[in-house]
Amino acid sequence: MAEETGLNRKYLGALVVAAIAIIMLGLMARRALVVPGAPQTAPPSEASTLQRLTQENQLRSISVYINERIAAIAPQVVRVPARGASGIKWGDRDSVISTSPDRPVLLVQPVSSDSLRPPFALDSDSVRRDWVLVVGRDPGERVVSWYGMSGGRSYGRCGGRIVDKYVLGVPLTPELSGAGVFDLAGRLRGMIVDCGDGYAAVTGSELRRLLADTAGVTPGDPAGADTTGVAATSPAR
């Protein structure tokens, strides 16, 4: 019996020594695998929270940037009450282009002069898919806008004409009639025109062609322009 007890004690002692050895080997292996100074992985719950906060901050930064670009572009856009649409300052004189169901693009002579108007810049037509800003004004002179990625260009019908237009991922509604299509640098890329039975975001070269066809004047030339008054531009809000 004493011999059996001695064997049990030896067996238990061997197990304890083996367990201690395994623990020590595990600790040594862990130290060898962990690089000193390496950042520790956050628990899953903390990692997801940090990722969400990072994404929210990125979205806020984008929103702030877009709002700044819209505010910089807004002075180029006015309201044309008689046409029920927005208008865009055009050329180097005090003239504005707008739209109506019977004339997709027309030249309007504003009532008041604006000596502080920004320099006019019509961007060359581009086929690249790029970010664009659509900026107009509602009847209360408040800025209305949309931003997104242009889906390229296509041909479509507008007021009995085949026009070159941008493909935009936004419903073209009466609220955007006459609004300008700009790039992020503030260059005019086109305009939302009234086609009578719908709306189209026509390109810059199409604006020139439609204006010449419907008004019979050179773009930017007030001769023969519509004398309907244009509301003065309000500060961007």
Mean model confidence pLDDT for the chain: 77
CA angle 148, 191, 189 (to 5 degrees): 65
- Least confident window among 75-79, 115-119, 191-195: 115-119
Model confidence at 7: pLDDT above 90: no
pLDDT confidence of residue 35? 55
CB 147 within 8 A of CB 133: yes
Q: Is the dihedral of CA 48, 50, 52, 54 positive or negative?
A: negative
DSSP state of 85: E
Q: Rounded to whole angstroms, how far apart are CA atoms 117 and 14? A: 92
Q: Which pLDDT band holds residue 67 (cuts at 50, 70, 90)?
A: very high
Q: Rounded to whole angstroms, how far apart are CA atoms 135 and 126? A: 19
For 199-211, how does the pLDDT look when each residue is reduced to its tens digit (9 = 90+)? Answer: 999 998 888 888 8
Longest Cα–Cα distance in the chain: 124
Model confidence at 218: pLDDT above 50: no
- Between 125 and 27, the more confident residue is 27
Residue 132: Cβ within 10 Å count: 22
Query: What per-residue string of b and e applies to 78-94 under the rule 16 or more CB within 10 Å gives b?
Result: bbbeebbbbbbbbbeeb
Q: Which pLDDT band holds residue 124 (cuts at 50, 70, 90)?
A: low
Give the pLDDT mean for 132-153.
Answer: 91
Residue 154: phi, psi to the nearest 5?
-155, 170
**pTM, two decimal places:** 0.67
pLDDT confidence of residue 58? 86
Q: Could you tell me the CA-to-CA distances from 108 to 91, 135, 224 in Å, in that order?
A: 12, 18, 10
- Between 55 and 13, the more confident residue is 55
- Residue type (1 letter), 138: D
Half-sphere exposure of 38 (CA within 13 A, CB side): 8
pLDDT confidence of residue 117? 52
Residue found under tokens 């060359």: 124
Q: Rounded to whole angstroms, how far apart are CA atoms 82 and 104? A: 15
- Between 1 and 222, the more confident residue is 1
- Least confident window among 91-100, 115-124, 139-148: 115-124
Q: Which pLDDT band holds residue 220 (cuts at 50, 70, 90)?
A: very low
Model confidence at 70: pLDDT above 60: yes
Q: Rounded to whole angstroms, how far apart are CA atoms 127 and 150? A: 9
pLDDT confidence of residue 57? 84
How far separated are the first and last CA of the chain, in Å rounded?
Answer: 97
Give the pLDDT mean for 88-95.
Answer: 78
